[in-house]
Amino acid sequence: MKEHPQILLKNIGHDDQHTLAGYESRGGYSVIRQVLETDPLKVIDEVKTSGLRGRGGAGFPTGVKWSFVPRDSGKPVYLINNADESEPGTFKDRLLMEKDPHLPIEGMMIAAWALQANWACIYIRGEYAYPYMRTVEAVKECYEKGYLGKNIFGSGFDLDIVVHRGAGAYICGEETGLLNSLEGKKGQPRLKPPFPAVVGVYGCPTVVNNTETLAALVPILEQGGAWYASMGTEKSTGTKLFSASGHIEKPGVYEIELGTPMRQFLEEQCGGIRSGHELKAIIPGGSSVPILRADEIDSISMDYESIQEAGSYLGSGGFIAMDETTDMVEAVLNLMHFYTHESCGQCTPCREGGHWIEKIFGRIARGEGVPGDLELIDNLADQIGGHTICAFGDAIAMPATSFIKKFPDEFRARITEALKGTFQNNKSTASELGA
């Protein structure tokens, strides 16, 4: 079994790691002390060197994102820790916040210094009660010790961190939806451009980074960007947390070096498919990315490029495995139900089209499908994905089309069975429908 460097999860086994004392006893808050003596631009360069990519799903290089922030706009720069982890099948940030909440906070301090932001916010998913409590406690401890507030660590740099709890909408994890929500508005994504790096929360330049991304800054600034870049592949550097769930022997959060073969990850970390069953399909990066069939995964490794080449995305690292007992019609209906429920309702294709697709899948699942339904879904999904303000349209379109494309026989069989029933009841209807 391959040993993976544990740079984010190395301390989560300790019972007192969530306390400031525990965190500091294992070297916590030593990196930020050094960073505060470094030129902020050098910090950004170090992060660029590391090749760290956003862990929230889009995989955009973090250092590059930071460099979009105008440095002389005359406005304050804000930093947001996006802990609104809501993608079905994704629960990695939760683990960090529950077991090692000071790690992302130290990461925020590093990012805030690099961006010269004096105000930062942790936006936590509403349902994450325990991570919220742990985070609030951690922030409180920091304030008590003078690690937050005025003149942190005696550096002359001020940093305030506010912990904000979401109200349970998936779309508030979309960075501009988050900004609106934070401002007290309805959580609806904003039109881009302008991008948050230029016009963000309260109209000021804002950087929104995922919790895992921020946590990864601590080891990067400790051991250097080059060290981080030496792990993983050329374009997918370092390690990444994967939330493994589904029909596997050992569900959980695993930190692996990017570029690990998918099959190896499945067998070694996840313990393989539950005994007596065999793999049918995998959703590799959270439920919004296209599904992969079992026969497709052998050539794939767990990095951004390889998965994209195979027609899916690494996304947030929500690794969902399904065995042969999974009914694909029911599974996609479940996903569609989630996504249409979470559609913010702002733009037409997603608001109307998403529900339409869900209704058609519902009909097929109930045995009321008709020929042409699958083509219709495909056509509708094509007009939703890429036609909306945010990427949510794609989150509806990608599962809908990929489930049909990868498992066409299951959907066709459901429709044919339905027609047999119709045929028995009404011969003419069935023939009209071309059965």
Partner 1 sequence: MMSIKGSEAKLVTITVDDNEIQVPEGMNLIEAVSKSKIEIPHYCYHPHLSVAGNCRMCQIEIEGRPKLEIACNMTAQEGLKIRTHATSEAVKNAQASTLEFILINHPLDCTVCDQAGHCKLQDYHFQYNARPSRFVENKVNKAKAKPLGPTVVLDGERCIMCTRCIRFCDEVTETSELGMVNRGDKSEITVNEGRKLDNPLSGCVVDLCPVGALTHRNWRFNTRIWFTKAVDSVCPGCSTGCNARVYSRDKNVVQVKSRRNDEVNKDWLCDEGRYGFDRFLPEERVIEPRVGSESSSWEEALTGATSLKGKKCVVFLSPDLHVEEYEVLKRFVEQVAPESHIAVSYRERSLSKLEAILMSPDSAPNIFGAEFAKLISDAPGDAYESALRGLNDGAYDAALLVGDRAILTEDLNDAVLGKLSHLENSVGIFCDSNTDLQRACKVVLPGRSVLEKAGMFINRGRRLQYCERAVEFPQGSKQAWRILNELSEKLGKKITTATDDRALTNWYLEEEGRLAGLSIRKVKAGGVDLTQYQPATTNETETGVQPRS
Please pick, from the candidates 88, 246, 353, 369, the single residue that binds partner 1 as defined by CB under 8 A: 353
Does residue 354 touch partner 1 according to CB under 8 A? yes
Does residue 236 touch partner 1 according to CB under 8 A? no
Please pick, from the candidates 41, 64, 167, 191, the single residue that binds partner 1 as defined by CB under 8 A: 191
Instruction: Count the residues of the shown chain that bind partner 1, applying the rule CB under 8 A.
Output: 31
Q: Which stretch binds partner 1 (CB under 8 A): 105-113, 135-143, 210-218, 334-342?
A: 334-342
Residue 87 and residue 288: Cα distance in Å, rounded? Answer: 8
Dig out the tokens for 413 from the structure.
């069989």
Residue 22 and residue 26: Cα distance in Å, rounded? Answer: 7
Q: Which is nearer to partner 1, 277 or 363 (CB)?
A: 363
Q: Which is nearer to partner 1, 13 or 434 (CB)?
A: 434
Does residue 337 touch partner 1 according to CB under 8 A? no
Does residue 325 touch partner 1 according to CB under 8 A? no
Residue 44 and residue 66: Cα distance in Å, rounded? Answer: 7
Site for partner 1 in 360-419 (CB under 8 A): 360, 363, 376, 380, 383, 386-389
Task: State the nearest-atom distance from the C-beta of 191 to partner 1, in Å.
Answer: 4
Please pick, from the candidates 86, 245, 346, 402, the single residue that binds partner 1 as defined by CB under 8 A: 346
Does residue 352 touch partner 1 according to CB under 8 A? yes
Q: Are 255 and 100 in contact (CB under 8 A)?
A: no
| Count of beta carbons in the 10 Å neighbourhood of residue 327 | 14
Residue 187 and residue 179: Cα distance in Å, rounded? Answer: 8
Q: Which is nearer to partner 1, 296 or 352 (CB)?
A: 352
Dig out the tokens for 349 from the structure.
């294709």
| Count of beta carbons in the 10 Å neighbourhood of residue 144 | 11
Q: Which stretch binds partner 1 (CB under 8 A): 13-21, 272-280, 347-355, 411-419?
A: 347-355
CA 351 to chain centre: 22
Q: What DSSP element (H or E) covers 241?
A: strand 239-246
Q: Report the sign of the C-alpha dihedral through residues 258, 262, 267, 271, in that order.
A: positive
Residue 381 and residue 393: Cα distance in Å, rounded? Answer: 8
Please pick, from the candidates 157, 195, 227, 356, the single residue that binds partner 1 as defined by CB under 8 A: 356
Q: Are 92 and 254 in contact (CB under 8 A)?
A: no
Q: Which is nearer to partner 1, 108 or 396 (CB)?
A: 396
Q: Which is nearer to partner 1, 152 or 389 (CB)?
A: 389
Question: 230, 242, 238, 304: which is closest to 269 by C-alpha?
Answer: 242
Q: Are 270 and 322 in contact (CB under 8 A)?
A: no
Task: State the nearest-atom distance from the C-beta of 389 to partner 1, in Å.
Answer: 6
Q: Which stretch binds partner 1 (CB under 8 A): 61-69, 141-149, 186-194, 413-421?
A: 186-194
Please pick, from the candidates 84, 93, 141, 342, the single residue that binds partner 1 as defined by CB under 8 A: 342
Residue 352 and residue 349: Cα distance in Å, rounded? Answer: 6
Backbone angles phi, psi at 258, to 5 degrees: -65, 145
Does residue 175 touch partner 1 according to CB under 8 A? no
Q: How many residues does the chain have?
A: 435
Does residue 186 touch partner 1 according to CB under 8 A? yes
Task: State the nearest-atom distance from the C-beta of 227 to partner 1, in Å.
Answer: 36
Residue 398 and residue 396: Cα distance in Å, rounded? Answer: 6
Task: State the nearest-atom distance from the C-beta of 94 to partner 1, in Å.
Answer: 23
Q: Which stretch binds partner 1 (CB under 8 A): 114-122, 210-218, 318-326, 346-354?
A: 346-354
User: Which residues would be at the binding site for partner 1 (CB under 8 A)?
Assistant: 169, 171, 186, 191, 193, 340-349, 351-356, 359-360, 363, 376, 380, 383, 386-389
